[in-house]
Amino acid sequence: MRDPMIERCEWLMDVRRAVRRLTPTQRQTLYYWLAGYTQQEIAALVGVTQSAICQRLQTIMEVIRGAI
């Protein structure tokens, strides 16, 4: 049986590696989203449309899911 703490640490390391693979723009978008900003708020902050932010977040999630 594997130690749950070790599994969690490994999972966190995988997530960190995935985030490092993101572009700076993607990381910025992810940061705002994790901080609780809405897609519309993020769009206003970075000067793009809400649909562009939606697409960025989808791409970000694909990258992260593919890495873990």
Q: Is the pLDDT of residue 68 over 90?
A: no
CA angle 14, 23, 68 (to 5 degrees): 20
pLDDT tens for residues 17-49? Answer: 989 999 999 999 999 999 999 999 999 999 999
The pLDDT of residue 1 is: 77
What's the mean per-residue pLDDT of the chain?
93
- 53 burial level (CB within 10 Å; 0-12, 13-18, 19+): buried
Residues in the chain: 68
d(C-alpha 43, C-alpha 66), whole Å = 25
Is residue 62 left, alpha or beta, with left meaning phi > 0 and alpha meaning psi from -120 to 50? Answer: alpha
